[in-house]
């Protein structure tokens, strides 16, 4: 098989050299207008080809590789006195798997307990390539199906405008859920 990034022969979908060059996390932080801190492991432009595999079955394997290189390593070093939960943003199954569930599962550790299918969108509009005004006019309309008065981390694959994470955070506050921060694979903002 060939590496998806450099096209060299590899026993993995992403060769060792590309993992070291492109999948060594370079964490960036963005603070949304409502104060939510969002940490991203990569810049979108460097892993775009990998991120776009989420629309195909091969994405299951690619997202597991990226989750291992970023979310899993984060979870292995993260500690708190009391364990917290992690919630994937709308972890609906598409193409045979849920890419946000893969990322969320990688957070399982002594400090973080992933939960699944607890934050669901009722509006399944596609935001890909859409403007901020389109996103604001077409909210996800999340529903929450878990405990109240807990602490959690939100999990998503990409932050573009921050609209989705902000909407989830607003809903969770109604249930007295304290979102400590959000984690994403990639930040689409250029800088």
Segment 89-129, tens digit of pLDDT: 988 777 678 999 999 999 999 999 999 999 998 887 777 77
Give the CA diameter of the chain: 51
Contact 144, 171 (CB under 8 A): yes
Is-contact 32 38, C-beta < 8 A? Answer: yes
Output the pLDDT for position 29. 97
Cα dihedral sign, 93-94-97-103: negative
Task: Report the pLDDT averaged over residues 153-168.
Answer: 94
Q: What is the pLDDT of residues 132-149, one digit of tens each?
A: 788 888 888 999 999 999
- Can you list the alpha helix ranges (DSSP code H) found in 9-106? 16-22, 44-51, 59-67, 73-77, 99-105
3-state helix, strand, coil in the chain (%, to 5): 35, 25, 40
Read off the pLDDT of each residue in 7-27 and give the average, rounded to a whole number: 92
User: What pLDDT does 71 receive?
Assistant: 98
Confidence (pLDDT) at 130 = 74
Tokens matching residue 36: 């939510």
User: Has residue 155 got a pLDDT over 70?
Assistant: yes
Structure tokens at 103: 């990322």
Q: Is the pLDDT of residue 11 over 80?
A: yes
Go through the domains of the chain in sequence order and give each one's CATH number.
26-187 (3.40.50)
- Residues 31-84: pLDDT tens digits? 999 899 999 999 999 999 999 998 889 999 999 999 999 999 999 999 988 999
The model's confidence at residue 191, banded by pLDDT at 50, 70 and 90, is: low
E-only strand ranges, 74-146 = 84-88, 112-115, 119-121, 142-144
Look at the block and give the residue holding tokens 């389109």. 134
């Amino acid at each position: 098989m060939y590496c998806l990034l450099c096209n060299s022969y590899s026993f993995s979908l992403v060769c060792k050299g590309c993992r070291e060059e492109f999948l060594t996390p370079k964490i960036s932080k963005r603070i949304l207008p409502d104060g939510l801190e969002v940490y991203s492991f990569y810049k979108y432009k460097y892993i775009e080809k990998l991120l776009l595999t989420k629309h195909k079955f091969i994405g299951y394997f690619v997202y597991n590789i990226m989750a291992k290189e970023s979310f899993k390593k984060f979870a292995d070093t993260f500690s708190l006195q009391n364990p917290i939960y992690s919630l994937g943003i709308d972890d609906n199954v598409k193409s045979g798997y849920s890419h946000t569930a893969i990322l969320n599962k990688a957070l399982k550790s002594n400090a973080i307990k992933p939960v699944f299918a607890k934050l669901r969108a009722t509006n399944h509009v596609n935001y890909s390539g859409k403007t901020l005004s389109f996103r604001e006019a077409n909210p996800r309309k999340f529903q929450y199906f878990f405990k109240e008065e807990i602490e959690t981390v939100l999990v998503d694959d990409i932050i573009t405008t921050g609209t989705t994470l902000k909407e989830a955070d607003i809903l969770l506050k109604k249930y007295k859920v304290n979102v400590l921060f959000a984690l994403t694979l990639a930040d689409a903002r250029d800088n």
